[in-house]
Amino acid sequence: AQSVTQLDSHVSVSEGTPVLLRCNYSSSYSPSLFWYVQHPNKGLQLLLKYTSAATLVKGINGFEAEFKKSETSFHLTKPSAHMSDAAEYFCVVSERNSGGYQKVTFGIGTKLQVIP
C-alpha cells in the first residue's frame, strides 16, 4: 500500500532562517518521490523529484530534498527562507501499480509562513 505523511500542517519561519518540511512515505515498491509548491490561487508546480538516482536532489528556488530509504523519509529543506517561499507544499509518492499504470498519492500539504 502506498501512503504519504506530511508531519506538519503548518510551519512558520523567519525570513533568512532555514526551512524544513517533513515527509514520510510508505510504498510496496521502489517509489519515485516529488515535491510540489502551490502559491495562492495558482496550480501546483514541480519543485523537485527523486527517481532512484542521487539521493540528494536539488530543485528550483534553492530547495533540496534527501531520500533516506532506511527512514522512509523525503524531507524538503532550504538554507534561507525568502518571503516568496510562503506557499503550500505537497509531498507526492508515485509507483507503478499491478496493472502497470502510474499510481500517485499526494500528502495533505504543509503551509509555510515566512515572517519578515
Question: Is residue 54 within the footprint of other proteins (CB under 8 A)?
Answer: no
Shorter beta-carbon distance to other proteins: residue 46 or 115: 46
Residue numbers 67-96 binding other proteins by CB under 8 A: 90, 94-96
d(CA 13, CA 89): 14
For the beta carbon of residue 116, count every other beta carbon within 10 angstroms: 6
Q: Which of 44, 64, 66, 86 contacts other proteins by CB under 8 A?
A: 44
Question: Is residue 40 within the footprint of other proteins (CB under 8 A)?
Answer: no
